[in-house]
Amino acid sequence: MSLRLILADDEAPTARVMSLALTKQGYEVEVCHDGAEALKAVLANPPDVLVTDIEMPVMTGQELCEQLEKLLPDRTFPVYVITGVTDLVHRKWTREIRDLHFLEKPVSIRRLAQELEQRLRS
Amino acid sequence: MQSTGRFTAIKRILSPDHSLPYLGAALVMGLVSVLYLYFQQQSSQAQLQQHAVALARLVSEYKVAPDDGQDFSNLERLFEHQLMNVAFAYGLIEDSTGQPLTLTATRSLSAILPKLPDADSNWLQSRSLGLQSGDVLEFYGPIKGAAGGPHYYRFAYYQPRFGLNTEDLRVGATLGLPIFLLVPLFLFLHARTARPLKDIGNRLAEVIEGKVKLQHVEISANGELAEFIAQFNGFVDKVQGRISSADRMNRKLITSEKFLSYRAERFESILQTVPDGILIVDEDLKVVFINQHVESMFDIGADQVLSSPLAAWCTHQPLLDFVIELRSSGQTSANKVVQMLHPDGRHTLGVSAHPLFFSRSPGSHTGSLVLLRDISEEIAAKQSRVDFVGALSHEIKAPLNTIGLYAQMLETNGEDGEFRIETHNVITREVERLTRLVHNLLSITQIEMGTFELDAQRVHLVDVVRDCVSVLDHGEDQARIKVQASDKITPVQVDKELLRVAISNLLTNALKYSDESLPVTVEIEESDDAISLAVTDQGLGISEADQARIFEKFNRSSNPEAKKKAGHGLGLSIASEIVKLHHGTLTVESEIGKGSRFTIELWKRTGIAQRSI
């Protein structure tokens, strides 16, 4: 049974190519175009992993994570945040979120696949 | 005038202090005269007495001739001879019955002589008689050897009167003259000595009353008085010297006081004008000075807090701690900066304190100078820059990420022709996006540095707007824009490419910050001297605080809703700079929840000319 992955990114080409790459890796990928959409999808059917961008319209990645922390206190799936910002000041909020990991832009599909493989299959 | 002067002179003489020498002189003169007259009378009396006795002796020794015993002619001649003497009154010979036989008298004698006393007298006797022509001293005695009974002789002299005897007048005058001359001389000398003194006294009185200035006494004198006047004038010189040096000092003092107050006022006005808050405390932390900015920061009046301890009114513990720490540390050149919240709770203050020393004694701490500066803008600018770098980083990394992902996918999916075309398109678009960003960055840098050259052309604004609309990515966006403009609007002289950037930025914002279902209106209007272009949306709206900083570089809205939209805080800044390059204005009107209206106003040629005048 393939693992379910929710991908939230407002950049259409990025979402498309990542979805393509991850599907090739054997994941069942659900693409959302903003945080609100992703939250709805997660609450409806919690995935095995959530991968989200931060800068998004309607609801940002940060707000999505904070909402999840509040709404799903016993969440079991990891969250991967794709960020272009390396400044620690901008990562302060992530200390409050459990099981959160960073993916720095530009994202390496291979590294992401390896990481997910290790974490989810073990 | 003259009579008054004379009257004054008389009064002066008669006044008690002046009349004393004159009275004394008159008294002396009177006394001398009386004494002289008295002694003159006494001596006349004595002379008369002597004369009478001598005459009596001569008469008594007279012998009547023996022939008839009645010839008294010799005696008569003797009496006649006596008439030479002015004092001689009469001389006569009486028989025993009292009948005068001879009478020798001065003409003035016209009286009946009284009889001799009855008693027999054998020797010379005298008595005083009061006759009509004056008092006389009468001498009488018997004539020896006269026939026919005893005969008597009588002769009298006028008593010397108390008074001036004309005969003695010459003697008296000789004696009196020196006295009478000496007294006026004495008075003259006294007056001559006293007058200069009196003059000096009057002069001094006038000086004291302030009527005249102290000056030399110009009085001709000699001897001791001249010496006194010389010394007095020397004293006047000295006093005048003192007075003029005191005057000079006084003028100097007034000048330096004016100068000091001018300097103090100037320094105060400088301290008041300095844009920072200035607070000066002494070594006991009592307030010595605060300027108007500190007054408004803490909402206090300088009058209320001057000379009162800082702790008495300053409730801002960080500031208090800071100043106390500075004093106790004994630092000689501290310039520490701490941040504290402005009492209004909205601004941040940068506080720096500097110990004050007197230049004369560099070792002793005389207080502290505390500078309070509103650094909210600096902090905001810093924050804006951090935000900008974050946004820029996102703007750069997003296309890079996309390009990178496609590149990775080519590795495994390269055989798929469709995917290769997609990859090509995506990469091309993302490169364009990056190029645009870089171009924008360069534009704003060039505009800011003033190295941008306008490529001015005459264009119709409506054409520029249509150009902007046509290059918008999505058809839906293009459809939302409604342009309202008359065809008759005058073309304007602008850099078309630059103005397109500005208008594009306004349109993009309007589309981005309003609901996709709502239209964005562009209105172009013409007045006598300007053409305006307004972009109106019905979107989020901008708060007043955000409006104030909306055209600042790197600035992004504080509205969380607006923050959700991608942006790098450069669009409006660039638009504003471009409009400024065209000598136009870019203004905003907005209300939260109702929308915003940005208006570019460009002056027509005439308008520009008028404005430059």
- What ipTM was predicted for this assembly? 0.90
Q: Which residues of A touch B405 (CB under 8 A)?
A: 14, 17-18, 21, 106-107, 109
Residue B558: both structure tokens together? 């504080």
- What is the percentage of chain B residues whose pLDDT exceeds 90? 13
> Does B566 contact A55 at a Cβ distance shorter than 8 Å?
yes
> Hey, are the CB atoms on A85 and B426 less than 8 Å from each other?
no
Output the six-digit token pair for B36: 């002289």
Structure tokens at B93: 């010979």
- Residue from the list A18, A60, A84 with its beta carbon closest to the beta carbon of B564: A60
Would you state the pLDDT for residue B14? 46
**Cα–Cα distance measured from residue B553 to residue B575, given in angstroms and rounded to the nearest whole number:** 11
Measured CA to CA in angstroms, residue B483 lies from B65, B466, B487, B536, B537 at distances of 193, 8, 12, 11, 12
The verdict on B202 touching A (C-beta cutoff 8 Å) is no
DSSP state of A107: P
| B577 within 8 A of B444, measured Cβ to Cβ | yes
CA separation, residue B20 to residues B23, B27, B191 (Å): 5, 10, 12
Task: Please list every residue in chain A whose beta carbon sits closer than 8 Å to the beta carbon of residue B429.
Answer: 13
The reply to whether residue A82 touches residue B426, judged by beta carbons under 8 angstroms, is: no
Which one-letter DSSP state was computed for residue B542? -
Residue B153: what pLDDT?
83
Contacts of A44 (CB under 8 A, 6+ apart): none
Q: Tell me what pLDDT residue A5 has.
A: 95
Band the pLDDT of B567: cuts 50, 70, 90: low
> Nearest CA of chain B to the CA of A76: how many Å?
28
Residues B174-189: pLDDT tens digits? Answer: 877 777 788 778 888 8
Return the amino acid letter for B231.
Q
Cβ pair A13:B406 closer than 8 A:
yes
pLDDT at B8 over 60: no
Place of tokens 């500005």: B502
**For testing the chain B interface, which of A54, A55, A66, A83 should be mutated: the one with the most B CBs within 10 Å?**
A55
* Nearest-5° Cα angle at B237, B231 to B242: 130
For residue B13, pLDDT over 50 is answered with no
Q: At a CB cut-off of 8 Å and minimum separation 6, what does A82 contact?
A: A9, A51, A52, A53, A54, A61, A103, A104, A105, A107, B401
Q: Are B602 and B491 in contact (CB under 8 A)?
A: no
Instruction: Please answer whether residues B602 and B458 qualify as being in contact, where contact means their C-beta atoms are separated by less than 8 angstroms.
Output: no
| Cα–Cα distance, B149 to B120 (Å, whole number) | 12
Looking at every residue in chain B, the average pLDDT score rounds to 80
Mutate to test the interface with A, among B405, B514, B556, B561 (most CBs of A within 10 A): B405
Mean pLDDT of all residues in B602-606: 76
Number of Cβ within 10 Å of residue B131's Cβ equals: 19
Does the beta carbon of B431 lie under 8 angstroms from any beta carbon of chain A?
no
Nearest chain A CA: its distance from B444 CA (Å): 23
Per-residue confidence (pLDDT) for residue B589, from 0 to 100:
95
A60 touching chain B per CB within 8 A: yes
Q: Which residues of B touch A61 (CB under 8 A)?
A: none
Distance between CA atoms of residues B281 and B323, nearest Å: 9
Both tokens assigned to B412: 């495994």
Q: Given the DSSP bridges, would you call strands B520-526 and B481-485 parallel, antiparallel or unpaired?
A: parallel
Structure tokens at B446: 């060039």
Closest Cα in chain A, distance from residue B398 (Å):
7
Dist. CA B14–CA B17, nearest whole Å:
8
Residue pLDDT, tens place only, B233-278: 888 899 889 989 999 999 999 999 988 888 888 888 888 888 889 9
B405 and A89 within 8 Å at the Cβ level: the answer is no
- B595 pLDDT above the threshold of 90: yes
- Give Dmax (Cα) for chain B: 229
Q: Which residues contact B165 (CB under 8 A, 6 or more apart)?
A: B40, B44
B398 has a chain A CB within 8 A of its CB = yes
pLDDT of B296:
84
Distance CA B491, CA B462 (A): 9
Q: Say whether pLDDT at B195 is over 90.
A: no
Q: What is the tens place of the pLDDT at every residue in B526-552? A: 998 899 999 999 999 999 888 888 888
Quote the CA–CA distance of B279 and B97 in Å, as a whole number. 145
Q: What is the pLDDT of residues B94-103, one digit of tens each?
A: 887 777 888 8
Closest CA to B450 of B580, B573, B568: B580
* Cα nearest neighbour of A56 on chain B: B564
Backbone angles phi, psi at B381, to 5 degrees: -65, -40
Q: Does B401 touch chain A (CB under 8 A)?
A: yes
Looking at the complex, does the CB of residue A111 fall below 8 Å from at least one CB of chain B?
no
- In this predicted model, which residue has the larger pLDDT, B16 or B371? B371
Strands A79-83 and A100-104 turn out to be parallel
- pTM across the whole model: 0.47
* Cβ-defined contact of A110 to B566 (cutoff 8 Å): no
Is residue A78 scored above 90 in pLDDT? yes
> Is the pLDDT confidence value at B6 over 60?
no
Give the C-alpha separation, B57 to B402, whole Å. Answer: 189
